Amino acid sequence: LRTLVLVLGDQLDLDAAAFDGFDPAQDAVWMAEAAEESTHVWSSKQRIALFLAAMRHFAEALRAAGRPLHYRRLDDPGNLGTLAAELQASLASLSPQRVVMTAPGDWRVWQSLKAVVERAGLVLDVREDRHFFATVREFAAHAKNRKSLRLEYFYRELRQRHGVLMEDGGPVGGRWNFDADNREAFGSEGPGLVPPRATFAPDAVTREVLALVETRFAQHPGSLASFAWPVTRAQALTALQAFIEERLPLFGRYEDAMWPGEPWLYHSQLSAALNLKLLTAREVVHAAEAAYRAGHAPLESAEGFIRQILGWREYVRGIYWTQMPGYLERNALDARHDLPAWYWTGDTDMACLRDALTQTLAHGYAHHIQRLMVIGLFTLLLGVRPQQVHAWYLSVYVDAVEWVELPNTLGMSQYGDGGLMASKPYVATGKYIQRMGNSCAGCRYDPAQRIGERACPYTTLYWDFLLRHEKLLAGNTRMAMQLKNLARLNDADRAAVRQRAEEIRAAATAAP
């Protein structure tokens, strides 16, 4: 064997750089399902099933393309349980002259595979991942000599370099950013009829995976009942088209809106297909731009959507690869509490959080504002160790791969990097949640109350957060208004907030 091409579960692209120069007469592909990838964090059933189903379908695509494949199934007798052990065994039996892969999305996996290949006396040829617009090197060049990193400038650079939404050398519409035109809530009448989610009924291959996950990972969180994710490239393209036609026009306006019992709203639900590389980031961005140019979607929606992919998604990848491995350990706010046990069940009387957690466990999905301003906000205010929050996020979402999950969780949501990723901690009272959705109407708490039995835990904990971190945040001009309001609290108010916060904290982190 000349070349063994390693393909991981999030590298399901027949055109990936690892296949450049592939010759079926001399080369072969290697894929392995390893239990460790589902247990190193306590992966949800939906997440495990999605990865396995997509991998098995990709194996079929490889065979159809005539590429010789060595594929190890989880339920093969003698499966060694880890990618490293499986690879070591394959290198011994296949004796390839060289090993090639596309740059992986997880530091831990990269380190362990590299070590195995080197121990076998070979060099691991890691190729650039062309899926992304920017290389890590380009990000590093952008970041060099900057005291703080901000999305906006990096995003503008990429728009210019790749000619996305550009006209006569400037941004289409004369502005780079339409955030101010977006961010509406639904109003008291609610979202009305939202287009139904694009669903893909499990075929025989997927059904076999679902049964395997149900038995092998019976105790893992979440449920498989609603499993309907795209697991092939053809299905992912159908999902993309449905999004562009049905949801993109209102994506921008309702990007930040929430509504109880409405998990999907106008979001694309394409993150998993993108992260598994069933779709390329370029084709998704181009489809959104084409919809705008054809008059199908307003500019603020197309720009708002493209900003998420060409902007945020590229930006967090740059942060991950320039900051690892130290990033994983950061805890700038010295948060030390344990994650509430009910994060794994959704069993809480806070209506907004119950809704977001229940939906997460049912579908492996929550949209951005739920992840940031409901689920993540609560752990930030409570003071949960960011590493535990990270492990939870990496477990539960179908789109969770460490390069994208970690900076979003530890950096953007928990401020664990002390402001590298976000210019200030994303903190708010329950009134923000009330403004963006309708959960408070069905909740036993009151977002306007700071102390007392009916005080919304978010509101109490928000003031407690400012009290606890007043000194640290004092130099941050973006926090000036919030700290000015804090200064109005007298000593008695402060003591009452602290006491109520301690009660909430004790109840939330008590052993079940």
From the list ligand SF4, ligand FAD, none, partner contacted by residue 18 (C-beta under 5 to 8 A by kind): none
**Residue window 436-455: x/- pattern of binding to ligand SF4, with contact defined by CB under 6 A:** ---xx--x-x-x--------
**Residue window 319-358: x/- pattern of binding to ligand SF4, with contact defined by CB under 6 A:** -------------------------------xxx------
- C-alpha span between 108 and 170 (Å, rounded): 41
**Residue window 353-392: x/- pattern of binding to ligand FAD, with contact defined by CB under 6 A:** --------------xx--xx---x----------------
From the list ligand SF4, ligand FAD, none, partner contacted by residue 445 (C-beta under 5 to 8 A by kind): ligand SF4
- C-alpha span between 494 and 54 (Å, rounded): 53
Beta carbon of residue 445, minimum distance to ligand SF4 (angstroms, whole number): 4
* Comparison of 19 and 392: residue with beta carbon closer to ligand FAD: 392
Beta carbon of residue 270, minimum distance to ligand FAD (angstroms, whole number): 4
Omega prior to 325 cis, within 30 of 0: yes
- C-alpha span between 9 and 209 (Å, rounded): 14
- C-alpha span between 187 and 179 (Å, rounded): 19
Phi, psi of 29 (to 5 degrees): -105, 145
DSSP 26-91: TEEEEEE--THHHHTTT--HHHHHHHHHHHHHHHHHHHHTT--EEEE-TTSTT--SSHHHHHHHHH
- Contact (CB, 8 A) for 216 and 227: no
Beta carbon of residue 241, minimum distance to ligand FAD (angstroms, whole number): 14
Residue type, 95: S
**Residue window 294-313: x/- pattern of binding to ligand FAD, with contact defined by CB under 6 A:** -----------x--xx--xx
Run of H or E residues at 125: strand 124-127
Could you say whether residue 412 binds ligand FAD (CB under 6 A)?
yes
From the list ligand SF4, ligand FAD, none, partner contacted by residue 367 (C-beta under 5 to 8 A by kind): ligand FAD
- C-alpha span between 263 and 46 (Å, rounded): 16
Size of the site for ligand SF4 (CB under 6 A): 14
Task: Kindly state the DSSP code that residue 477 receives in the 8-state scheme.
Answer: G
Task: Kindly state the DSSP code that residue 249 receives in the 8-state scheme.
Answer: H
- C-alpha span between 148 and 143 (Å, rounded): 8
From the list ligand FAD, ligand SF4, none, partner contacted by residue 267 (C-beta under 5 to 8 A by kind): ligand FAD
Q: Tell which one of 176, 344, 392, 393 touches ligand FAD (CB under 6 A).
A: 393
Run of H or E residues at 287: helix 281-293
From the list ligand SF4, ligand FAD, none, partner contacted by residue 450 (C-beta under 5 to 8 A by kind): none
From the list ligand FAD, ligand SF4, none, partner contacted by residue 309 (C-beta under 5 to 8 A by kind): ligand FAD
- Contact (CB, 8 A) for 164 and 285: yes
Q: Tell which one of 434, 460, 468, 508 touches ligand SF4 (CB under 6 A).
A: 434
Could you say whether residue 458 binds ligand SF4 (CB under 6 A)?
yes
Counted residue by residue, the chain has a size of 512
**Residue window 229-268: x/- pattern of binding to ligand FAD, with contact defined by CB under 6 A:** --------------------------------------xx
Report the 10 Å Cβ neighbour count for 193.
Answer: 5
Beta carbon of residue 378, minimum distance to ligand SF4 (angstroms, whole number): 9
| Three-state DSSP string of 161-190 | HHCCCEECCEEHHHCCCCHHHCCCCCCCCC
Could you say whether residue 433 binds ligand SF4 (CB under 6 A)?
yes
* Comparison of 12 and 91: residue with beta carbon closer to ligand FAD: 12
User: Considering only CA atoms, which of 218, 210, 202 is closest in space to residue 39?
Assistant: 218
Kindly list the residues in this chain that would bind ligand FAD in the complex (CB under 6 A).
Answer: 267-271, 274-275, 305, 308-309, 312-313, 316, 367-368, 371-372, 376, 393, 397, 399-400, 404-405, 408-409, 412-413
What residues line the site for ligand SF4 (CB under 6 A)? 350-352, 430, 433-434, 439-440, 443, 445, 447, 456-458
